[in-house]
Amino acid sequence: MQKDIQNSNAPSGANGYSNTTATLALAKASFRSIMRSPSAVVFTLAFPLIFILVFGFLGGGGTHIDVGITPGSDVNNPVIGMMEKTGMIRLVKDKTKAEFDKLLEKGNVDAMIDVHRKVNAPAYSVNVVYTSASRDKGGILKSVLNNLFYDKTLKPSVAEIRESTITGREYKTIDFILPGQLGFSLLSTGVFGTAFVFLSLRQTLVIKRFFATPVKRSSIVIGEGIARIGFALIGALFIILLGHFFFGFTLIHGAVTVVNMLLLATLGVIVFMGFGFIISGIAKNESMIPPISNIVTLPQFLLSGTFFSIEAFPNWLQPISRALPLTYLNDAMRKVAFEGLGLWDVKFQIMILLIWGIGIYAVAVKVFKWE
């Protein structure tokens, strides 16, 4: 009744209507609705978790061992020749000592080898440095070398093998897989979720009913956005914590790393939601959403380093990979999580995401439909 009296007395214009209240009411409603929608939960959580489980248990796929040859090492000797023949060992040459040290520390090379002819003797001395960042592969290399050492043809020429281990960070499969899955989860939530919601709100005339209230269009978009981002962040946090506590996902700076990852996730979802707005505008009905969304998500799923490092792709594919926004989100996530970089250190990746965001929203504003 209070309200009525106010209304009749107010001249015109503002009589206490709050856009914030309206926006938050929408965010709350939308969030409740998302939490009860099976498809949203499946896309955001179940899907990435399955991949994380699979890869978490399978461990690192095709085994090859990257062995760096210490600068100054003898290269034309039977030891290195035999190592090459195993087919399992990839030799990494032509890098400086400093570069090798970094690679070794991160586990990007699994060991360093240094071979020298012993003074006054025909035999060689082999010096191997392993890294704790890659214990599994170090172990394999060790047994390979032991076999070589006892190999009859080599035996006379190898005098000794000296081994040592440096401590580096252990880079596990999960450290690669989890950020990729997280990125993909954000992409699906942003694209599918947003596209479905806005198309269905438009088609079922929910939005039309909203327009009969004093709510602003911006409140509708922002309210939905808040709910979607909130949901995506809860999903992200869940994935990160599960990965950390059950699969040993590396969080170098602990909580700070998590916060940085969530900030990146927020930027990611906002950018990806733009695709969703566009798709909701061009799709004529709900059955058109999955195919159109897949055009956006599948290439990124495959080419943005979700499963494999994009360096593993053929050269002609790499420029495509490097054009996709998810590539940069994944990249930034990995750098922040594993290498412990701050957000400022991944400013290049953030900038590319922002450029994508501006482009996407420029299109979204043009093609988005309210009715």
Partner 1 sequence: METPKAIISVKNLVKKYDDFVAVQGLSFDVYEHEIFGLLGPNGAGKTTTLEIIETLRDKTSGEITVDGFSVDKQAQEIKQIIGVQLQAAGYYPNLNLVELIELFAGLYGADIKPMEMLEKVNLQDKAKAKYKALSGGQKQRFSIATTLINQPKIIFLDEPTTGLDPQARRNLWDLITEIRNAGTTVVITTHYMDEAEQLCDRVAFVERGEIIALDTPDNLIDQLVNSGFERKKEVKKANLEDVFINLTGKEWRE
72 binds partner 1 (CB under 8 A): no
7 binds partner 1 (CB under 8 A): yes
Report how far residue 136's alpha carbon sits from residue 312's, in angstroms, rounded to the nearest whole number: 21
**Which of 127/200 has CB closer to partner 1?**
200
Q: Which of 9, 22, 124, 262 binds partner 1 (CB under 8 A)?
A: 22
The dihedral built from the CA positions of residue 242, 300, 268 and 263, taken in this order, carries a sign that is positive
212 binds partner 1 (CB under 8 A): yes
Q: Which of 80, 89, 103, 201 binds partner 1 (CB under 8 A)?
A: 201
What is the edge-to-edge ordering of all strands in the sheet holding 65-69?
89-92, 65-69, 111-117, 124-131, 158-166
What is the secondary structure of 307-352 as a DSSP string? SS-GGGS-TTTHHHHTT-HHHHHHHHHHHHHTS---GGGGHHHHHH
Strand-strand pairing, 89-92 and 65-69: parallel
**Which of 55/196 has CB closer to partner 1?**
196
**Which of 212/255 has CB closer to partner 1?**
212
Residues 137 and 129: beta-carbon distance below 8 Å: no
Q: Which of 215, 326, 332, 360 binds partner 1 (CB under 8 A)?
A: 215
86 binds partner 1 (CB under 8 A): no
Q: Which stretch binds partner 1 (CB under 8 A): 207-215, 275-283, 297-305, 352-360?
A: 207-215
What is the secondary structure of 260-290 as a DSSP string? HHHHHHHHHHHHHHHHHHHHHHH-SSGGGHH
104 binds partner 1 (CB under 8 A): no
Q: Which stretch binds partner 1 (CB under 8 A): 9-17, 44-52, 160-168, 314-322?
A: 9-17
Using CB under 8 A as the binding criterion, the count of chain residues that bind partner 1 stands at 37
Closest approach of partner 1 to the CB of residue 43, in Å: 16
Closest approach of partner 1 to the CB of residue 233, in Å: 20
Q: Which residues 32-51 are close enough to bind partner 1 by CB under 8 A?
A: 32-33, 36-37
4 binds partner 1 (CB under 8 A): yes
Within 13 Å and on the Cβ side, how many CA atoms surround 319?
1
Closest approach of partner 1 to the CB of residue 15, in Å: 7
Output the CA–CA distances (angstroms, integers) from residue 204 to 29, 207, 370, in the order listed.
16, 8, 12
Residue 19's region, left for phi above 0, alpha for psi from -120 to 50, else beta, is alpha
Point out which residues pair with 129 in neighbouring strands: 112, 164
Q: Which stretch binds partner 1 (CB under 8 A): 47-55, 65-73, 202-210, 355-363?
A: 202-210
366 binds partner 1 (CB under 8 A): no
29 binds partner 1 (CB under 8 A): yes
79 binds partner 1 (CB under 8 A): no
Within 13 Å and on the Cβ side, how many CA atoms surround 228?
32
194 binds partner 1 (CB under 8 A): no
226 binds partner 1 (CB under 8 A): no
| Lookup: tokens for 57 | 């248990």
**Which of 230/268 has CB closer to partner 1?**
230
- Identify the helix (H) or strand (E) that includes residue 34: helix 19-35
Alpha-carbon Rg of the chain, whole angstroms? 28
146 binds partner 1 (CB under 8 A): no
206 binds partner 1 (CB under 8 A): yes
**Which of 11/319 has CB closer to partner 1?**
11
Q: Angle 289-303/173-188 helices, nearest 10 degrees?
A: 160
Q: Which residues 248-287 are close enough to bind partner 1 by CB under 8 A?
A: none
User: If we measure between CA atoms, which residue out of 108, 94, 56 comes closest to residue 339?
Assistant: 108
209 binds partner 1 (CB under 8 A): yes
> Three-state DSSP class for 251?
coil
Q: Which stretch binds partner 1 (CB under 8 A): 23-31, 78-86, 160-168, 248-256?
A: 23-31
Output the CA–CA distances (angstroms, integers) from residue 334 to 93, 190, 212, 341, in the order listed.
26, 20, 47, 9
Q: Which residues bind partner 1 (CB under 8 A)?
A: 1-4, 7-8, 12-13, 15-18, 21-22, 24-26, 28-30, 32-33, 36-37, 200-201, 204-206, 208-215
